[in-house]
Amino acid sequence: MLRPVRTDLHLHTCLSPCAALQMSPRKIAALAKEKAIDIIAICDHNSAENIPAVIEAGRKLSLKVIPGMEVTTREEVHLLALFSKLESAFELQEKIYAHLPGENNPDLYGWQIVANENDEVLSFNQRLLIGATTLTLEETIQLIHSLGGLAIASHIDRQGFSLLGQLGFIPPGLPLDALEISPRLSFEEAKKKFTYSYPLVAFSDAHKPEEIGAATTSFFVADLIFEEIVMALKGQGGRKILN
């Protein structure tokens, strides 16, 4: 039976250098559950290392967690990558790390903490996760799709690090699966402003605990699984975006 499912598929953890240290796996899961969100996705900058901890923290609360990543392309465009399997996110991470130059300076960019499901610090990522990869926009989308993932242009209503902000346009035929808008713009305003043929979704892009759920997208689906969201974005089998 199809039913509404509330999602926030763009959350950062304490692994992202620009996120608050309080964005720990257990805290994120608890707050998402408290805010009646059915599915979340962890999309740290250029890394997937904290996803297993959030999945485990979510499992204890019966919260569905989708593996993801926010990749920065060579053009400094942010792209969300969402996957069905954790293994796919780690395959993407391997490719991203091979194309991610530089080393993090915590005094400039912030700490990059790898934690477990109990919010204990395991290690510090030394890569420059805030930086841009050497992969182009097209190469990144192709890579995400080759791993069975969804490629969504992040926060297109923002000037910084968005597809429209960096390029000024969406290249014709770019095989994106959706466009994300940020909490600063309502769906009604977005539908008037952006008349592209891509589906529109809204997520919080939360970097602080209080931002979790600031923007959500409800899907009309049959189950709390990645494949149902794919069908909803395509409008298949009665699945659809409700916002």
**pLDDT tens track for 91-133:** 999 999 999 999 999 999 999 999 999 999 999 999 999 999 9
Tens digits of per-residue pLDDT, 162-220? 999 999 999 999 999 999 999 999 989 988 999 999 999 999 999 999 999 999 999 99
Calculate the dihedral angle through the C-alpha atoms of 218, 222, 223, 229, rounding to the nearest 10 degrees: -50
Please state, in angstroms and rounded to a whole number, the distance separating the CA atoms of residues 133 and 95: 10
pLDDT at 23 over 90: yes
Tens digits of per-residue pLDDT, 24-70? 999 999 999 999 999 999 999 999 999 999 999 999 999 999 999 99
Please state, in angstroms and rounded to a whole number, the distance separating the CA atoms of residues 75 and 92: 18
Please state, in angstroms and rounded to a whole number, the distance separating the CA atoms of residues 78 and 46: 10
Superfamily grouping for domain 14-241: Metal-dependent hydrolases (3.20.20.140)
Decide if 220 contacts 4 (C-beta within 8 A).
yes
Residues 202-219 as b or e (16 or more Cβ within 10 Å = b): bbbbbbeeebbbbbbbbb
Please state, in angstroms and rounded to a whole number, the distance separating the CA atoms of residues 124 and 133: 20
Interstrand relation of 121-124 and 113-115 (parallel, antiparallel or unpaired):
antiparallel
Tens digits of per-residue pLDDT, 220-240? 999 999 999 999 999 999 999
Any idea where the domains of the chain sit in the sequence? Answer: 14-241
Q: What is the DSSP letter of 22?
A: T
Please state, in angstroms and rounded to a whole number, the distance separating the CA atoms of residues 191 and 183: 14
Tens digits of per-residue pLDDT, 4-14? 999 999 999 99
pLDDT at 80 over 90: yes
Query: If we measure between CA atoms, which residue out of 129, 151, 106 comes closest to residue 50?
Result: 129
Query: If we measure between CA atoms, which residue out of 13, 68, 77, 25 comes closest to residue 43?
Result: 68
pLDDT at 243 over 90: no
